[in-house]
A and B are shown apart, each in its own frame.
Chain A
Amino acid sequence: MRSNTKGFSLAELVVGIVIFGVISASALGFLVASTNTYGSLSANMNMRMEAQLAVNQISEYLIDCNSGVYWYDSTKSLCVLRTDGGSTTAHVFELNCESGELLYGKGEAVYRNGAYEYSVSPADLLVDNAVGFDVALISNDGEGISCAVIELKLETRGKTHTEERTIALRNKPEGKNIL
């Protein structure tokens, strides 16, 4: 008894430190878990927003398309031809499967021998983390393309989000799904 009256012994200190360690470790566990939850939720929201924005951008080009729209399934490439004041521009959206980037490019298209010719290699990033891009062009009455169904799939931190939208084309341009 007498040895305990003057101060803490080493054994008491060690027990105290171990208890403190266990309590702070469990507290840290909660902290890390909530930080992770916050991080994945905000990444998820961000991904949804980016997907919406990207599909919005593509539909902006599609809605007023007036000279042709073509979907190349093998290269995951969508070409939108638009004529404005005499000159025709080809807007191309293409998924690079390796880098997960949906790329955009545009260039002049020239009408020759009954078809538009253009050479565009998309290089400008539209949206990152893309794992799927599919378009179906639909012709309801056989007079050109009346609507397009876009499906864009993004993936971050193991979670995926698919943004799907059907867009009505005002001018019913000619077009084709090329497999």
Chain B
Amino acid sequence: MKKAKSGGFTLLELLLVIVISGIAMGFIYLSVANVSSSAARRAATEMNYAISRCRSGAVSREGFACLELSVGTQGEILCKYYENGALAEERELGGSRVTVSLSVDEGEKPLTSAAPLYLSFERGTGAESTLNAAAERMGKANSYGGGYCSAITFSGGRGSYTVEIVASTGSHGIQG
């Protein structure tokens, strides 16, 4: 026994050390990834991109472009992009852990599974359309008041992130 151990480390010992450090690194990576890119932040980033796409669609095309933000059957957050009433892109922004709150003219309102939010932008000027106008063009009902949506906040797990929209110009960005 003494003679066998005296020469140095065996391959088995080395492998054990590498596996243990591998597992430790895995845990470190997971916790870092969670902080740097939480579900809420990812959802807000995707929403910001969706608004960019909808807005440039609205400014450049003959028809109208519209976003539908809704809560799915499993509580997941869905964002659909329509061009002239036809579905052009669908994305899942986040799972059921992410909740969405809307800043509309009447104040803060949660996004509910019963009523999707319809967002649209004016052709030419790129300004935000009123929520009523956006829903009406889609042939749907609007349950979030007749004014403008000035912010969409995604919360869940670690912190919350907000996509802010300037109604008169349509410019938008992420805060938080």
Contacts and interface: CB of A to CB of B under 8 A. Distances in A.
Interface of A: 2-10, 12-13, 49, 53, 56-57, 60-61, 104-106, 124-128
A4 B171 contact: no
A6 B6 contact: yes
Contact of A56 (B10, B59, B168): B59
A7 B17 CA distance: 15
Nearest to B164: A125
Contacts of A10: 8-9
B14 A8 contact: yes
Contact of A4 (B7, B10, B60): B7
Contact of A125 (B10, B52, B166): B166
B166 A8 contact: no
B124 interface: yes
Nearest to A104: B169
Give me the 10 closest cross-chain CB pairs, A-B, nearest first.
Answer: A6-B7, A7-B8, A60-B124, A9-B8, A7-B10, A124-B168, A126-B169, A125-B171, A57-B126, A8-B8
B166 to A, nearest CB: 5
B173 A128 contact: yes
A127 B171 contact: yes
Given A7-B11, A12-B8, A60 B169 contact: no
B56 A53 contact: yes
B41 interface: no
Contacts of A106: 168
Nearest to A46: B52
Interface residues of B, number: 26
Contact of A6 (B10, B167, B169): B10
Given A53-B59, A127-B171, A128-B173, A61 B125 contact: yes
A10 B52 CA distance: 57
B8 A124 contact: no
Contacts of A128: 171, 173
Nearest to B14: A8
A172 to B, nearest CB: 20
Contacts of A104: 168-169
Contacts of B124: 56-57, 60
Contacts of B169: 57, 104, 124-126
Contact of A5 (B7, B14, B126, B167): B7
B55 A53 contact: yes
Contacts of B14: 8, 13
- Most interface-central of B3, B11, B59, B167 (chain A CB within 10 A): B59
A114 to B, nearest CB: 30
A126 B171 contact: yes
Contacts of B8: 3-4, 6-10, 12-13
B9 A56 contact: no
Contacts of A127: 171
